[in-house]
Amino acid sequence: MTLLSVFIGAALGAMLRYLVIMFWPFHTPIFTAVFAINLVGALFMGIIFASNQISDMHNFWSVGLLGGLTTFSTMMVQSAQLPFYKQLIYLMVQLIGGILCFMVGVALINIF
């Protein structure tokens, strides 16, 4: 059952990522759909992590949906398409922003 929930979640997450990328209204080299998806994914991962409930639904949301939604490989490809100094900025903003969003998600659960 766990494998099935991860499989369904990952498929839905990948489809959602594709839709967001296709309909993303901004065309800038830094603030991309992948950038936004990764930050939103980190926020929700913090919320799920802080809930501290391991179940098939937890695996569906965290490993499946958010794993399929967020994408490390596309982030790397996008950074490689930028000049070197912008690569460093892009990756640092992604990583620091992701950590901060994760911490906000954890804090939201701890507040409520």
Binding residues for Na(+): 67, 70
Helix axes 2-22, 33-51, angle to 10 degrees: 150
Joined tokens for residue 16: 């959602």
Sign of the alpha-carbon dihedral angle for 38, 42, 48, 52: positive
C-alpha span between 68 and 91 (Å, rounded): 20
The separation between CA 60 and the C-alpha centre of its own chain, rounded to angstroms, equals: 14
**Which residue positions form the known binding site?**
67, 70
